[in-house]
Amino acid sequence: MIPTMSASHDLEEGTALTPKFDANGLVTAVVSDVASGEVLMVAHMNAEALAKTMASGEAWYFSRSRAKLWKKGETSGHVQRVVEIRIDCDQDAVWLRVEQHGPGACHTGRRSCFYRTVPLGQTGAVKLEFADDKTFDPNKVYGKT
Amino acid sequence: MIPTMSASHDLEEGTALTPKFDANGLVTAVVSDVASGEVLMVAHMNAEALAKTMASGEAWYFSRSRAKLWKKGETSGHVQRVVEIRIDCDQDAVWLRVEQHGPGACHTGRRSCFYRTVPLGQTGAVKLEFADDKTFDPNKVYGKT
Task: For B55-84, write each residue's pLDDT tens digit.
Answer: 999 999 999 999 999 999 999 999 999 999
Taking the C-alpha atoms of residue A78 and residue B127, their distance in angstroms, rounded to an integer, is 30
Cβ-contact B61, B72 below 8 angstroms: yes
Higher pLDDT, A98 or B2: A98
Q: How high is the ipTM of this complex?
A: 0.94
pTM of the model: 0.94
Amino acid occupying residue B78: H
| CB within 8 Å of chain B, chain A residues 60-79 | none
Task: For A10-58, write each residue's pLDDT tens digit.
Answer: 999 999 999 999 999 999 999 999 999 999 999 999 999 999 999 999 9
> B108: distance to nearest CA of chain A, Å?
7
Task: For A72-116, write each residue's pLDDT tens digit.
Answer: 999 999 999 999 999 999 999 999 999 999 999 999 999 999 999
A12 at interface of B, judged by CB pairs closer than 8 A: yes
Q: DSSP letter at B90? A: T
| Amino acid A145: pLDDT | 45
Identify the band that residue B125 occupies on the pLDDT scale cut at 50, 70 and 90.
confident
On chain B, the residues whose CB falls within 8 A of the CB of A32 are 32, 37, 39
SS (H, E, C) chain A: CHHHHHHHHHHHHCCECCCCCCCCCCEEEEEEECCCCCEEEEEEECHHHHHHHHHHCECEEEECCCCEEEECCCCCCCCEEEEEEEECCCCCEEEEEEEECCCCCCCCCCCCCCCEEECCCCCCCCECEECCCCCCCHHHHCCCC
In angstroms, the first-to-last Cα distance of chain A is 60
